[in-house]
Amino acid sequence: MTSQVPLRLALVVAGGAIGTAARLGLGLALPASDGNGLGAVPWATLIANIAGAFLIGALAARLPSSSAARVFLGTGALGGFTTYSAFAVGSVTLWHAQPWLAAAYAIGSVVLGIGAAAFGLDIARPRSSHTQAHG
């Protein structure tokens, strides 16, 4: 079992590099403004976290937790793509300017993230042929 540790670590590192680079790209494409209103919402973080939660849910439904693909894609790439720390800082920063919007952002992020993960699990879960034939 210990012989697999270096491989699993390398998979997480490689996936994490890809995921964090993708999150950086999303942040550059959708920068948060310092202004008021919805432009101040950290949209890139919200999108990364919701999409990542959905995809992690789908992976969890399809791949065993010990598989190399799930370690690379789930823990590495999607773990690097999603970000709790940026969500926390974005919420606090937004709170100073617009407390109600910050509360909506924080609550909405958690609710949408859980919903996205549940949806990913549900649609990716293998169905039996009986379920598929009869709805």
How many domains in the chain?
1
Distance CA 45, CA 123 (A): 24
Q: pLDDT > 90: what percent of the chain?
A: 81
pTM over 0.85: yes
- Orientation of helix 5-29 relative to helix 43-62, angle to 10°: 150
Q: Is 22 exposed, middle or buried (0-12, 13-18, 19+ CB in 10 A)?
A: middle
Q: What does the pLDDT read at residue 34?
A: 74
Which residues touch 52 (CB under 8 Å, ≥6 apart)?
Answer: 78, 81, 82
**Do residues 68 and 6 lie in contact, with contact meaning Cβ atoms separated by under 8 Å?**
no
Q: What is the pLDDT of residues 74-122, one digit of tens each?
A: 999 999 999 999 999 999 999 999 999 999 999 999 999 999 999 999 9
Domain that holds residue 98: 2-134
